[in-house]
Structure 1
Amino acid sequence: MKPVYLPRVLADRFGDAPAVRDENTQMTFRELDAKVTAVACQFREHGVTSGDVIAVMLPNRSELVISIFAAWYLGAAATPINPSFTHDEAEHQIADADAALVVNAGHGSPSGGRPAISVDDLRTSADATDLEPVDIAGDDLALVIYTSGSTGRPKGVMLTHDNATAMSAMMVESMKMTADDHCLLVLPLFHVNALMVSLLAPLRVGAQLTILGGFDATRFFDTVEQRRPTYFSAVPTIFALLLSKAEGRRPDMSSLRFAVCGAAPATRELLAAAEEFLDAPILEGYGLTEATCASAVNPIDGPRKPGTVGPALPGQRIRIVDDALNDVPTGQTGEVLITGPTVMAGYLNRPEATAETIVDGWVRTGDVGRLDDDGYLTIVDRLKDMIIRGGENLYPKEIENAIGSLPGVLEVAVIGRPDDVMGEVPVAFVVPYPGADLTPEAVTDHCRRHLTRAKVPVHVEITPELPKNPVGKIDKPGLRASLAA
């Protein structure tokens, strides 16, 4: 099998139509295939073969896309790494995925002691242009996407080519994508949302993709006016920034057919204001990496219900269950369960965690929601303590582990504080050992050395004790209540 999103297949179908561009280059489908072939040959010379994993630690740029496709040409999988990760964070992912090769920015970038290729050294042409992509089985591993877990260390979500094929097809169907579409990619490509909604879905129908290296409101407006994209996918924070940074400017957004909002809850007020500003429908959806991105989306050509994340995507099913995993009546709340061809193959090297998350083929999301009579899903709350900062999932335990490694820390609790722009931000409460000279600045500096900037608490409070529940556990609900007060 050769998945329909492989550049060789796309080149045969769409030839010299525009495919991918970034700030430095642009390629037709045929040129994309040629560059992917060249890099695949280079990877093969480094010994990469079917079943291997290639780690790619780059900011949004065309070479990141080329490297992922090149891995697939050889039957290997790819694990994209957040380029803002510290060495510790990046090398954990490289080692956990057992990467056979790392593509990075060079100049001391993390490689975990594995063979590495600097992005500047990636080939752009090759003699062996007749390299044929290997035949891929549907259950072959395509991606290992890392998502933080409640135990602190990120877990590798294994997504197969069947998962990617199903998810990208669902996006195409639900959003009525055609070759006339043009996606403006603003989310980072180490997230499954960008990979599925903005990369694979448009390319598989012959649509074009423009990659922004990073989000900046002014540059976003300029790019829309110049490139005339028909859609983009973003998180609520980006929509809020677009509104706040417009500063009286009325950019020409008329090319936009729709926009997608996901990864974190958005208020009705924000979505209404953003729709008015863009003069295009915003499709709010819901999903998680363990189900290959999206499981519910408000339809583009049907009723969109503000406050909901829409009905299940075609081919997926959603249940609401009680603590015993029994279905609850329509309209009642419970845990959200998801099933369908997008359910992950499991967590890499984590069979126990996989068994806890996938039960009889259903993904336990850990989120609380309810379904209405029309099958529209409303997310009510989260069972887990996850903090969603600007669409990025942060788990308190990972931050707590980092703070706990600082000498003088006795206890620590991290919770999310509501924020008008970011949605939530992490706040830390730290109890020092008796006699320890511990300051908020020391805790913050320690976090900056060991955590990505988004995970660094915006506020650290040194306190003599933390509230506890009757069984002696830290009372995080009580902390949240006191913070709100």
Structure 2
Amino acid sequence: MTHGQRHFSSYAEEICSALTRFPEREAVVRGEQRFTAGQLRDLVFRMARVFETRGLGPGKTVALLGGNLPQLLAARYAAHLLGCRVVHLYARLSVAAQAVIVRDVETGVLVVDPRVAGRAGELAARSGVPDILTLGPAAVGEDLLELAACRSAGTFPGRARPQDICVIQYTGGTTGRPKGVCTTFAQEAARGERPRVPDVARRLLVCTTLAHAAGRLTDRTLAAGGSVVLLEDFEPAEVLTAIERERISWLFLLPPLLSRLLDHPDCGRRDTSTLTTLLYGGCVASPGRISEALSRIGPVLSQGYGQMEAGGISQLTTEDHDPQRPERLRSAGRPLPGVRVAIRDTAGNDVPAGEAGEICVRSDTVMQGYWKQPELTAEVLRDGWLHTGDLGRLDADGYLTVLDRLRDVVIMVGGKFHTSELEDVLESHPGVRQSAVFGIPDTDGVDQVHAVVVPTPDGTVDERQLRELARTELGEIYDAIRITFTTQLPLTETGKPDKKLLRQHSSRTPPNCGADSCA
């Protein structure tokens, strides 16, 4: 480093500094495990020294496989202190799919939750990963925690360089072949929320995978001096119990999970008064359900819209959540500071306010590119703008509404329509809780429109009523929709409706396949 050049501080160093400032406070909770900030920091530094002995550093890859464990979180921070790139594998992917990713990112060390040690052995055999470290005793690899216990807990200086790849985050694959989204350490620092003042009162509940948005919210909470409570997965009763028991102030849910929370009988029985912020996002939310959440949980909702490729794009603030303005609740809010949003047609021209087009984004947080896919990178990154593949519109006040994925636009004999439009209409019926709409193209390139509907527990809604509602609200073209009823929509690991699975099911199943046929 030359004289006068400021040391680059990665997000992991910022978190370790925050942990050092408040060493006695509770930092991470999982079941009976309760880590103070000092204990978590020490574990990070000890693990970093173990990784160092394995030859890890800038340009090397660490893969993480496991659930929402404090120790897996510490392993990520330790790898990033060394300047490694990290890929956190989605646990529900097949071993074959995981092996493709592990090979593709040139994994040097695989860090494994002991509960999936058997899968790790098969994964190693398929991928050829040279080194496995487990977070406790297991039949494969060496015990990282045992090795770390013998190392110094003294401060470990960060070695990350701003231009190096920090994270390779693979898309869930619900819209095609998974892609590895690469962000640098500088971009991860820009995506983080540098707290102006400590917020030691913040208590975040994590009930979705740390491999996705919940991981970054965890980082922001710890950097602010707050605490994180980890659940393994989303289960409504457990979430409501944890909010009450742990006095949770922050919660993140995808809209389908928020709906399940509202529908649970304990929602009105548990004390949720400590919640100050309920963040939601990741897919389109029903304005009706958001209004219901406001009335039952309180004025604490805030929506975030973003992408792996872009980071945060826009926010609908708590103040924007006005039940008297359902059109505003349908929006994703205004672009975040430092983010430029343009709506463009297929020729790349900006469209007038209120018209639909592709959402294009420019900011410091846009990804570096897709891992080992330069052609695909060049296709979506053009002239400094990320072409998101999302369809949306900006109104005259600068509010962004996300309409669909471009590939989810349905082509019918009478023209094109956005699946979210029909979903909004179906969910306006008092007997409908949730819906998912998608098209399956026939040999002529025209889509057969399918709607999978979750009725309310006491709902008496039928196919005829919903078709009549759609026809009245949207036109006679909707007479042809095929409606299936189910008790619960399948979700991806990140909590979005799994339309890929629904398409596969519907393409081989006749309409009106029964109440539980798509669950």
Q: Is 1:194 matched with 2:218? A: no
Q: Which residue is equivalent to 2:366? A: 343
- SS of the equivalent of 2:78 reads helix
Among 270, 275, 281, the residue aligned to 1:256: 275
Q: Is 1:78 matched with 2:80? A: no
Work out whether residues 26 and 35 of structure 2, in 8 Å CA contact, stay in contact via their aligned partners in 1: yes
- SS of the equivalent of 1:220 reads helix
Unaligned runs of 5+ in 1: 401-412, 422-452, 465-485
Work out whether residues 5 and 203 of structure 1, in 8 Å CA contact, stay in contact via their aligned partners in 2: no
Work out whether residues 72 and 133 of structure 1, in 8 Å CA contact, stay in contact via their aligned partners in 2: no
Quick one: distance in 1 between partners of 2:193 and 2:448? 39
Q: Which residue is equivalent to 1:141? A: 165
Compute the displacement of 1:245 (Å): 1.4
Q: Is 1:28 matched with 2:28? A: no
- SS of the equivalent of 2:391 reads strand
Q: Which residue is equivalent to 1:117? A: 133
Counterpart of 2:128, as a letter, is G
Work out whether residues 14 and 29 of structure 1, in 8 Å CA contact, stay in contact via their aligned partners in 2: yes
TM-score (norm 2): 0.73
- SS of the equivalent of 1:135 reads coil
Alignment CA distance shift 1:396-1:177 (3 Å): farther
Quick one: distance in 2 between partners of 1:158 and 1:463? 38
Unaligned runs of 5+ in 2: 1-7, 137-142, 323-327, 410-418, 421-433, 442-446, 456-496, 511-519
Counterpart of 2:398, as a letter, is G
Work out whether residues 58 and 160 of structure 2, in 8 Å CA contact, stay in contact via their aligned partners in 1: no
Q: Which residue is equivalent to 1:3? A: 10
Q: Is 1:237 matched with 2:256? A: yes
Counterpart of 2:169, as a letter, is I
Q: Which residue is equivalent to 2:152? A: 128
CA offsets 1:421-469 (integer angstroms, 9 cap, x no match): 8xxxxxxxxxxxxxxxxxxxxxxxxxxxxxxx966557254499xxxxx
CA offsets 1:178-207 (integer angstroms, 9 cap, x no match): 33211111121111x1122x2121111111
Compute the displacement of 1:307 (Å): 0.8
CA offsets 1:240-294 (integer angstroms, 9 cap, x no match): 11111125742100000021111110111111112222224211221110012x2
Counterpart of 2:191, as a letter, is M
Q: What does 1:263-412 align with in structure 2 at a 5 Å threshold?
A: 263-292=282-311, 294-301=312-319, 305-385=328-408
Work out whether residues 143 and 160 of structure 1, in 8 Å CA contact, stay in contact via their aligned partners in 2: yes
Q: Which residue is equivalent to 1:445? A: none
Quick one: distance in 2 between partners of 1:419 and 1:263? 20
Q: Which residue is equivalent to 1:182? A: 203
Work out whether residues 84 and 160 of structure 2, in 8 Å CA contact, stay in contact via their aligned partners in 1: no
CA offsets 1:100-146 (integer angstroms, 9 cap, x no match): 11112312422322121122122153332235233322222111100
Aligned length: 414
Work out whether residues 2 and 9 of structure 1, in 8 Å CA contact, stay in contact via their aligned partners in 2: no
Quick one: distance in 2 between partners of 1:149 and 1:364? 18
Alignment CA distance shift 1:9-1:297 (3 Å): same
- SS of the equivalent of 1:184 reads strand
Compute the displacement of 1:69 (Å): 0.5
Alignment CA distance shift 1:460-1:377 (3 Å): closer
Quick one: distance in 1 between partners of 2:118 and 2:307? 34
Compute the displacement of 1:302 (Å): 5.3
> Mean Cα displacement is larger for which, 331-340 or 377-386?
377-386
Q: Which has the higher contact order (CA 8 A, sep 6+)?
A: 1
Quick one: distance in 1 between partners of 2:158 and 2:439? 42
Quick one: distance in 2 between partners of 1:52 and 1:160? 13
- SS of the equivalent of 1:162 reads helix
Work out whether residues 200 and 225 of structure 2, in 8 Å CA contact, stay in contact via their aligned partners in 1: yes
Alignment CA distance shift 1:250-1:42 (3 Å): same
Among 486, 490, 505, the residue aligned to 1:459: 505
Q: Which residue is equivalent to 2:489? A: none
Quick one: distance in 2 between partners of 1:75 and 1:150? 30
CA offsets 1:83-103 (integer angstroms, 9 cap, x no match): 122111110110111111111
Among 145, 149, 153, the residue aligned to 2:177: 153
- SS of the equivalent of 2:244 reads helix
CA offsets 1:17-48 (integer angstroms, 9 cap, x no match): 22222124222222111111122222222222
Work out whether residues 393 and 400 of structure 2, in 8 Å CA contact, stay in contact via their aligned partners in 1: yes
Work out whether residues 84 and 166 of structure 2, in 8 Å CA contact, stay in contact via their aligned partners in 1: yes
Q: Which residue is equivalent to 2:186? A: 162
Quick one: distance in 2 between partners of 1:303 and 1:461? 38
Compute the displacement of 1:226 (Å): 0.6
- SS of the equivalent of 1:290 reads coil
> Mean Cα displacement is larger for which, 217-226 or 15-24?
15-24
Quick one: distance in 2 between partners of 1:416 and 1:331? 28
> Mean Cα displacement is larger for which, 214-223 or 100-109?
100-109
Quick one: distance in 1 between partners of 2:508 and 2:267? 42
Work out whether residues 19 and 27 of structure 1, in 8 Å CA contact, stay in contact via their aligned partners in 2: yes
Work out whether residues 12 and 81 of structure 2, in 8 Å CA contact, stay in contact via their aligned partners in 1: no
Alignment CA distance shift 1:462-1:184 (3 Å): closer
Work out whether residues 34 and 125 of structure 1, in 8 Å CA contact, stay in contact via their aligned partners in 2: no
Alignment CA distance shift 1:416-1:155 (3 Å): farther
Alignment CA distance shift 1:131-1:231 (3 Å): closer
